[in-house]
Structure formats: structure tokens, C-alpha cells
Amino acid sequence: MRPLTEEETKVVFEKLANYIGRNISFLVDNPTAPHVFRLQKDRVYYVSEQIANFATSVSRKQLMSLGVCFGKFTKTGKFKLHITSLSYLAQYAKYKVWIKPNGEMPFLYGNHILKAHIGRMSEDIPEHAGVVVFSMHDIPLGFGVSAKSTAETRNLVPTGIVAFRQSDIGEYLREEDTLFT
């Protein structure tokens, strides 16, 4: 497990900024419980600094994971967020979308969000911005990218796509074999 390089940090923070904006500072600059990002194989973990220091005594070969897996680097060098980062994204999200109960199951089965399933959404969401998806009971269900801005969504037909699904909590079951390997 090693610290991220400057280029890797830039790629990770750009991806996180798409979802939580300037709230990235809350993840890193917490004086009471400082946390750091660490890389193990191709996965990026968010872990307490104290625990990361303890983990240095374990060899890289023996260490499987540590902390919360935020995502992984692809072979092309891009960063892909994992569903395991949802609790942090939901906590600091800039743009939010709430879906009705009749839209929860289609979303959790891997479909995009349609206008007919929208209960409410944050104001001034730009097109192609990162959004966190909640149920009407404020339970985070996943995250995605807005297909249309808030203004364009108002004039959209009910079967029009409002947000493209990136990840949802149904992945814990659908991809349990490959999620942590």
C-alpha cells in the first residue's frame, strides 16, 4: 500500500470533484480524524492516517484491503468510482436526485433514471454533472451523471432519461464475485 502519486491524486480528485465539488476538503482536512488515500494494486482506499501507518508493517502481498475502497484505476489510467464510496459521496453531494418508489427497482436493476421516476431534484444541476441518487426516504441508492440540466428536465417527456446510472447498491449482489478482487 503506497500513497498516490501527484498524477493519480489529480485524477482521483477530478472524479470526486464532479460529485462533491469543494467538499473534498472535508474528506482530507479533518483535524480530529485525518484520513488519507492509499493505492493497493489498482484500487484506491480511503483510510484513517493512523491505521495506514499501522498497515506499513504488513507486506503488500499479504494485505488484501484497508479502509474504504473508493474506486480503481483502469488499465488506461482512468479512475472509476465504486459503489463502496457511496456513503461519502452521499454525505457531501453537490447535486441530488430523489426517485419515487416505483422507480427504485428499475434503478437498482441497472437502468437509467427516467423523468417519470423523479420525485424531486436539486436546483441548477448542469448537464453531465455527477448526481447522487436517493430514495424518497433519503436513503442513498447510487450515483450517476445527469443527462439533462434541471431546466431541460422540466420539458422532457416522461420516458426521457434524466440521469445515466454509474453505480447502484444492487451491484453488491450482481457483482459480488468481482467487486473486491
**Which domains, and CATH codes, for the chain?**
2-88 (3.10.450.220), 94-174 (2.30.130.10)
One DSSP character per residue, 131-142 reads EEEEETTS-EEE
Instruction: Quote the pLDDT of residue 181.
Output: 65
Check: CB of residue 56 under 8 Å from CB of residue 78. no
Q: Give the pLDDT score at 180.
A: 65
Q: What is the pLDDT of residues 94-142, one digit of tens each?
A: 999 999 999 999 999 999 999 999 999 999 999 999 999 999 999 999 9
Q: What is the pLDDT of residues 50-88, one digit of tens each?
A: 888 888 888 888 887 888 999 999 999 999 999 999 999
Alpha-carbon gap, residue 16 to 5, rounded angstroms: 16
Amino acid at 110: G
Question: Residue 65 CA to chain centroid, in angstroms?
Answer: 18
The answer to whether residue 18 scores a pLDDT higher than 80 is: yes
